[in-house]
Structure 1
Amino acid sequence: MKIIHHKADTRGNANHGWLKSRHTFSFANYHNPERMNFGVLRVLNDDIVSQSQGFGSHPHRDMEIISIPLEGDLKHKDNMGNETIIKAGDIQVMSAGTGVMHSEFNNNPDQPVKFLQIWVIPNKMNVEPRYGQITVADNAKPNDFQQIVSPNKDDEGVWIHQDAWFHLAKFDQGVAKEYKVKQEGNGVYVFVLEGKAKIGDQVLEKRDGLGISDTDSFKLEALENSEILLMEVPMSLPQ
């Protein structure tokens, strides 16, 4: 088993006033050649957007973009005709494909919105742009791995153009479960949203990340009541 540990306070830091963002991997003005990606997981941004502020309309292409709100309400609008609100308990996916324009704003006038923005390099380029949104809280699985992203249109969660599976783990203190890697050659990036967890001898605090590869399974133990995001992705970049 190979592991790479990213402590929360070693992430890139951007403060634009209205936007505070921590970057696990190189992004915008944060560049670290040792932190470009974990397999096809290219971006993991931990964003806080001030009241009624946000990102104006901007383009993306050939990327699977996943947004997971943690607190507050985020308003999305795009040139595909979608205008929606996503909030904690929801998950949004956008296949940028041949190109899409979208904007994201804090829909709350009295509180910041906190969300994760995750980019996954797709296994198919130049696809037709697509938008999807579901409420994953409706199918919460306490003390188990709840699948929220998969490569399959008919499977649980949203689907993306990549052999990747994301799970949320909301574990009570003392709960330990084995995660089994779904596809040979994949790795798993574990990101602690709340609480404290342990994998092997490695203790993970809030907002720590741990990349795990070259194994077919590992045990995740909650040392406190914890919420943890597991992102299983191919480790080989598309050719």
Structure 2
Amino acid sequence: MLKKLPKENMGRSDLGWLESRFHFSFAEYYNPKNMNFGVLRVVNDDIIHPMSGFDTHRHRDMEIVSYVVSGEISHRDSMGNTETLKRGEVQYLSAGDGISHSEHNWHKSEDLRLLQIWILPPRQGLDRLYGSYRFKEKDRKNKLLNIVSSQGGGAKIKLYQDVNFYVSELDAAKILDFRVKDDRQIYFVQIEGSSSVNGIRLDYGDAMEIADEGLLQIEALTPSHFMLIEMPKEA
């Protein structure tokens, strides 16, 4: 099953300082038929304009990954962490019983674009986690880079949930294959450029739900930047 999700059909919001595309029901985009895909609850494609951002707010019992596409994100939280991350770098937290944090774009002229991804934890009340990793472009250039895994996985970033995040930047005409296990499903996000996934074209901002496919052939139709989120298959 390959279900293409055109960006034109997604939820949208423009608050002036923040422009968002919502892959799933979120904020003012309420759609009870589009609440999640397996353990994936939120994918927000956010553009934060200069000298603005999310002031201090609280999360609990959610695992959150922020993937920077362009610009710089400055983070501060109630655990004492402060840092600024750039393109291809990743921030994560497992909020447990509660973490307060803020996220801003303090650049005076450049927009910040990032994917904010929320994963449902395997249970409530888990210990809090926070961290980041500064991946390099060469790590994902013309190959799949596993940036997030479960605690038992091999990625630099480890969540509690049984998930794997992969990213890649493919040169035009390059092809990658990805084998999907029988008990797994995938959410594919076309971040930049265009790809063909098993013959179906995805352009900038599009997504795809994938289940019951043993092999994915991903071809870059243009220089292509994408993410795969692999997780247990829904019953």
| Smaller-chain TM-score bracket | over 0.9
- Give ranges in structure 1 of 5+ residues lacking alignment: none
- Pick the aligned partner of 2:186 from 182, 185, 188: 188
1:27 corresponds to 2:26: yes
What is residue 212 of structure 2 aligned with on the other side? 214
Rounded to whole Å, the distance in 2 between the matches of 1:178 and 1:55 is 38
Rounded to whole Å, the distance in 2 between the matches of 1:138 and 1:191 is 18
Identity of aligned residues (%): 35
What is residue 130 of structure 1 aligned with on the other side? 129
1:99 corresponds to 2:98: yes
- Aligned pair in 2 of structure 1 residues 135, 187: CA closer, same or farther (>3 Å)? same
Q: What amino acid sits opposite 1:188 in the alignment?
A: I
Rounded to whole Å, the distance in 1 between the matches of 2:109 and 2:220 is 34
User: Which aligned pairs between 1:117-196 and structure 2 lie closer than 5 A?
Assistant: 117-137=116-136, 140-152=139-151, 155-181=154-180, 184-196=182-194
What is residue 60 of structure 1 aligned with on the other side? 59
| Contact map agreement 1:40 1:235 (CA 8 A) in 2 | no
- Pick the aligned partner of 2:196 from 195, 198, 203: 198
After superposition, the C-alpha distances for 1:6-48 in whole angstroms (9 at most, x for unaligned) are 1011110111111111101110110122321111111000111
Rounded to whole Å, the distance in 1 between the matches of 2:208 and 2:43 is 13
1:235 corresponds to 2:233: yes
Rounded to whole Å, the distance in 2 between the matches of 1:115 and 1:153 is 27
RMSD (Å) for aligned C-alpha atoms? 1.6
- Give ranges in structure 2 of 5+ residues lacking alignment: none
After superposition, the C-alpha distances for 1:62-95 in whole angstroms (9 at most, x for unaligned) are 1110001111111111111111111112101110
- Pick the aligned partner of 1:225 from 223, 226, 229: 223
Aligned to 1:136, what secondary structure does the other structure show?
coil
Q: What amino acid sits opposite 1:94 in the alignment?
A: L
Deviation at 1:154, TM superposition (A): 6.7
* Structure 1 segments of 4+ aligned residues over 4 angstroms from their partners: none
Deviation at 1:195, TM superposition (A): 1.3
Aligned to 1:169, what secondary structure does the other structure show?
strand
Aligned to 1:192, what secondary structure does the other structure show?
strand
Aligned to 1:9, what secondary structure does the other structure show?
helix
Rounded to whole Å, the distance in 2 between the matches of 1:179 and 1:158 is 21
| Contact map agreement 1:136 1:157 (CA 8 A) in 2 | no
- Aligned pair in 2 of structure 1 residues 154, 166: CA closer, same or farther (>3 Å)? closer
Aligned to 2:136, what secondary structure does the other structure show?
helix
After superposition, the C-alpha distances for 1:195-236 in whole angstroms (9 at most, x for unaligned) are 111112311111110110123322111111111111112233
| Contact map agreement 1:38 1:235 (CA 8 A) in 2 | no
Report which stretch shifted further, 33-42 or 13-22: 33-42
- Aligned pair in 2 of structure 1 residues 139, 130: CA closer, same or farther (>3 Å)? farther
Rounded to whole Å, the distance in 1 between the matches of 2:234 and 2:124 is 16
| Contact map agreement 1:197 1:223 (CA 8 A) in 2 | yes
Rounded to whole Å, the distance in 1 between the matches of 2:150 and 2:225 is 23
- Aligned pair in 2 of structure 1 residues 141, 19: CA closer, same or farther (>3 Å)? closer
